[in-house]
Structures are given as structure tokens and as C-alpha cells.
A and B are shown apart, each in its own frame.
Chain A
């Protein structure tokens, strides 16, 4: 995969990792029927970390981050997000989802609502923010992702890259403490990948805790403080990006990197 050239290089000095734990995954296992998708996952994410998760398709990387806001249910082990353990308790799930934003591969904007309504819906209904205030916040984040002028259009009238930036703004409007990105650029044309990655780099510079499933290794080198390689439902290798790319340890990682770089 070709690497994207960034106009603006990330300022790593602004990305501080704190000692506070944001997400803790302990001995987590998940099955689809009898298929063992995630096996003994142990992972601690500190606040301010930017983690890139990569791996071949079917390795369970998307499933892993989808477990972290309970879009998928795990059957064994623990997942603790922001001090709240994810169980079948709906109240806890709602609490976690309020603090964790998610961006999807296919954007999943609400096509029947305008861009502005997409961004204000959850703050108004979930956080009970007054409409005016929610709209101001939404415009603030739309300006941040550089599409305030599209606020009154519908998602179907926007390009893929613009839609994905709206999706990021929509998540940010909930003022989340953690952001999950599930292959945010995989459905985009090369020209649009860069605009989305630029937005994500800015977000990282502001100290957002981010878990990103992606094949954009340029992005990983630019902002990640840790790269995790998964295969066959398990974490095979994790390291700082420089070490990970220059000196991979496992054979599986070497093979994967040789194929995508």
C-alpha cells in the first residue's frame, strides 16, 4: 500500500500519555457460534495513547474495538472502559457509549438528517444539551473538520471524504474521552484518504485517546505511540512504531509488513 504524504507533520511533543488507565481488557475471549474470534486478549490503554491496530482481514481487529463499546458482546474475560465494566447491564453500556466515540468504515451517517442534525442528534437526546448549544458545538466541530459550509446539506450530497469527516465531527460533538476508528479510510478514494487522516492527526495532537484499526502505515508512523499486530484472533506483536516497522520480531509480522509496505 502506498503511503500518504502529509502536509503537516504531527507535533509529537503535544501528545502526552498519562498514567491514568482508559481501557483495560483482561483475558477477553469471544466466539461467533463455535468460531473463536478473539483469544485471550490482554490490553491496557492509557489516557492519551494513540494505538494503531493492524493485521490481515479476519484477524479480529475490528471485532476487538467493537467490543470496547459493546457493539459486540464478549463471552469471557473483562473489559473495563473509563472505570466501568462492560456487562449485559444496559445502564453501564449506555454510560460507556456516551464517553466513547466511534467512526466506521462506511461512515454510517443518518441519510434522512442534515449534516447539522446528524451532529446535534445525540447531544440533544442523550446528553440533553439545549438545541442552541448543541448547534453551536456542532458548528465548532464542523469548522474543525473544515466543512462548516455543508452543514445544511444531506449526507448523500457529500463526497466520501467529507462524509467521513462529518462522522468524526458527529462523534466529537458528544465530547468523548476515547475515540475508536474502525478502518476509517478503507472505503475512500486515495485523494480523500489524506483529508481524513489530517483530521485524525489534529485530533491526536489534542491529546485524544485513540484506537485506530487501519492499514495506513504512514499514519501509524506519524501519530501512533504503539502499534499492535493481530492475527488469528490474538495479539501477535506490539511495539513502538519505529521498532515495529524497522525491526519486527515475529515471522508473521514480517510477512504481513512485507506484503503491505
Chain B
């Protein structure tokens, strides 16, 4: 071997070329992905056979079912031994699965509340929506429950006034004492207002100016209306609470930190169902005498607290993934803590945490079915009621299948939305 190097100088730069085409149409794709070698080919054939067998059993059962009958026995007579679904139960009990015992002449109210909610979510979920819609987003948390429960208009007004009280006290204390004192006393004032004064205020005003709609008691709530009500409030309330807990856990203030860690670890260490039992029987002991806490409200609080603890940990994961330089750059520019959190840290941390956040939301929504154990008539509760009816005794697949399908549609939409959001927030930076 000689030491001589062959000198080389490129005189012309190469043109860009298209990559060689690997796939030759759909047939090429099939050959490459399904039948690349004999072993994979066998697996493909076996899989196709299994899928065929499943569909061959399911499709005639589902689509050959009976839609009009008044009992399971009638279904069986119509089917005459053919193994097919008895969808008649869904057809007959559809409104109860959807609304429970909610008075049927008032169905428009939950429907309107749902429409209002969807309109309210548009400016939150999609940017580019008219900003004026945000007013609906602000009003919906008060108007929505009022539509569902009815009663005097002054109850939602009193609830909204709580925020006004809280913000006013915060402003006052923050300017007179310190920001921290305002952050403690403001929310405290709002809570005092809600627990002690709001009820009296709405009673007083409604005795002077009675404006209202027909009230509906909580025990009449049921079906998917109940599940969606619980799910939406849980999601809407646990998210901000989770952010606050996640920040609290990272705080330098030892009391804030200890309280946050204690809360998160306690709630995560306890099954949701025990918290629901607490809501059912025990919460009344802890509240001042005379405050009559609605059972649905109590359950909402428990579901919210439960989801918030998980949410806090998911968000903490997002916070931990942010490089320290982001905090430093925000500090160096003179942004204060809350500005840095709101403008720099949270937008990035939440984006990182989207998959976990949406998983928590989906988990929360499915966990609402646990309320059937403490006697609330959510869809699962209704399945049991319907099965207990002599006419439908023995029906299983159709009811659970229907409930599962509705849950799947809602949860799958949430999952697709989260993927859309991740794509939208992608700015080419890892």
C-alpha cells in the first residue's frame, strides 16, 4: 500500500434530485406491508380470518336487531330464535338514559345549557373565534347551572357576586397591605360570601323581586345529562386548581408547599369511591349548620378535588420538562412571578403536558360513572334500574353497549381535539 493520497477537487456542485420511489402503488404497499415474507403472510391471513369471524357474528346481531318492542319477551317473539340485538330497550328508555327523571317538558333547559356550553367553549378551544363570544364563556358557569336547576335568577347572580367580592377584597388588601395578603384574603372573602352570605342575599332579593324559572331537584337529574354535568364541571374546575397546586408544590414558601404536597398525596392515596362516600354522608358534618349542600354539588367538589390532584402532578411534569433558561430569561427581562408563569412558563408547560392533561380529563369523565354506587342515577345507574324492570329483566349487551358507545364518542372527541391542539401549538422547537 502506498502513502500517496489521490487528490480530488469537485468542480461542479450536484443538483438536488427526487428520492427513488420505493412504493409502486397500492399493490406495492400491500406486498411490502402485508406479505413481505411467508411468516408475515400467514399472520396476515390469520388476522384477516379472525376479523372476518368477529364481524360476521357482530354485524347481523347489531343490524338485525329489533327496534320496536315493549319488553324483552316481545323482542324474542319477533326474533323467533334468531340471535340478534333487542335495541327496543334503547328506543323505549332513550330519554331516561339521557335525562333521568328530569321533567320532560323542561328538556329544553339542559339542551339549551349544552348549546350554551358549546358556544362558550368555541373561543376557549379555537382561536380566531369572535372575541365577543368570550362574554358567553364568562356567563355560562352561572347561567348553565341556573338552567339545569332552575329557581330564582338571584342564585347565579349571588354566585357571580362572590367573584366580585373576592376580586374587590384582593385589590383592596393588595394595595393596602401586600400582594400575598391579598392572594390569601381575597379567595377567603369569596368563600365566606358563598357559604354564609350568598344564600341570604338571593333569598332577600328574590323576596323583593321574584324572578325565576321552575326549580328541578337534584334527585331528578340522571343519565348522560348527569354524567356530562359532573364531567364538565370537574374538568373546568380541576384544571385551574391543578395549576395552582402544581405551582404551590414548587413554591419557596414552606407552608404553601407543605399544604400542596399534603393535599396532592392524600387525595392520590385514597380511592375516588371513598371520597364519594364522604361526600354522600360525611361532608355535611364539616360545614356550618343550616347550609344545605346539594348532593350533586358535593359530588362535584369531590370529583374536582380528586382530578385536581392528578392534574397537578401532570402539570408538574410539564414544568419539570422546561429548561431552566426559560425561567432565567423571563427573570432577566424583569417579568414578575405571575407574569412569567402566565406568559412564558405555563403556555409551554401545559403544551408539553397536553397528552397527560387530556388523559386526566378522559379519566375524570369516565369516573363519573362511580356515582351510581352512591345512588345517583348516571347512565350506569339507569342501566341497573332498567334491568330491574320486569319487562327488560335479563338484557345486558344492548344497554352497556349503548352506554359504552356514547362514552367512547365523547372521549374519542376529546382525544382528537388534544391531537389537533398539539399540532396547532407546534412551533418547530423541541
A121-B343, A154-B427, A156-B429 as given contacts; A108 in contact with B326, CB under 8 Å = yes
Q: A174 to B344: give the CA distance in the assembly, Å.
A: 17
Residues 186-201 of chain B, each 1 if its beta carbon lies under 8 Å from chain A, else 0: 0000000000000000
Contact A125 B335 (CB under 8 A): yes
Q: A68 to B43: give the CA distance in the assembly, Å.
A: 67
Residue of A whose beta carbon sits closest to that of B179:
A90
Q: Which residues of chain B come closer than 8 Å to A154, judged between CB atoms?
A: 427-429
Residues 12-44 of chain A, each 1 if its beta carbon lies under 8 Å from chain B, else 0: 000000000000000000000000000000000
Q: A71 to B327: give the CA distance in the assembly, Å.
A: 10
Residue of A whose beta carbon sits closest to that of B347:
A112
Q: A170 to B344: give the CA distance in the assembly, Å.
A: 14
Contact A97 B427 (CB under 8 A): no
Q: A171 to B331: give the CA distance in the assembly, Å.
A: 12
Per DSSP, are chain A's interface residues mostly helix, strand or loop, or mixed? mixed
Residue of A whose beta carbon sits closest to that of B333:
A122
A1 in the interface, Cβ–Cβ < 8 Å?
no
Give A contacts to B, CB under 8 Å. Answer: 69, 71, 90, 94, 97-98, 100-102, 104, 106, 108-112, 121-122, 125-126, 154-157, 170-171, 174
Per DSSP, are chain B's interface residues mostly helix, strand or loop, or mixed? helix
Contact A126 B335 (CB under 8 A): yes
Q: A97 to B328: give the CA distance in the assembly, Å.
A: 11
Residue of B whose beta carbon sits closest to that of A95:
B334
Residue of A whose beta carbon sits closest to that of B427:
A154
Contact B351 A110 (CB under 8 A): no
Contact A111 B348 (CB under 8 A): yes
Selected A-B contacts with CB under 8 Å, 16 pairs:
A69-B331, A71-B332, A90-B336, A94-B336, A100-B332, A104-B329, A108-B325, A108-B326, A108-B329, A112-B347, A112-B351, A121-B344, A126-B334, A155-B429, A171-B332, A174-B333
Residue of B whose beta carbon sits closest to that of A123:
B333
Q: Nearest chain A CB to B193's CB is how many angstroms away? A: 31
Q: A197 to B329: give the CA distance in the assembly, Å.
A: 20
Q: Nearest chain B CB to A171's CB is how many angstroms away? A: 8
Residues 314-350 of chain B, each 1 if its beta carbon lies under 8 Å from chain A, else 0: 0000000001011011011111100100011001100
Residue of A whose beta carbon sits closest to that of B348:
A112
B425 in the interface, Cβ–Cβ < 8 Å?
yes
Residue of A whose beta carbon sits closest to that of B332:
A102
Contact A69 B343 (CB under 8 A): no
Contact B326 A125 (CB under 8 A): no
Contact B427 A104 (CB under 8 A): no
Q: Which residues of chain B come closer than 8 Å to A126, judged between CB atoms?
A: 333-335, 339
Contact B427 A125 (CB under 8 A): no
Contact A104 B325 (CB under 8 A): yes
Residues 297-314 of chain B, each 1 if its beta carbon lies under 8 Å from chain A, else 0: 000000000000000000
Q: Which residues of chain A come closer than 8 Å to B331, judged between CB atoms?
A: 69, 71, 97
Q: A126 to B328: give the CA distance in the assembly, Å.
A: 15
Residue of B whose beta carbon sits closest to that of A158:
B428
Chain B residues 345-380 with CB under 8 Å of chain A are 347-348, 351
Q: A217 to B323: give the CA distance in the assembly, Å.
A: 30
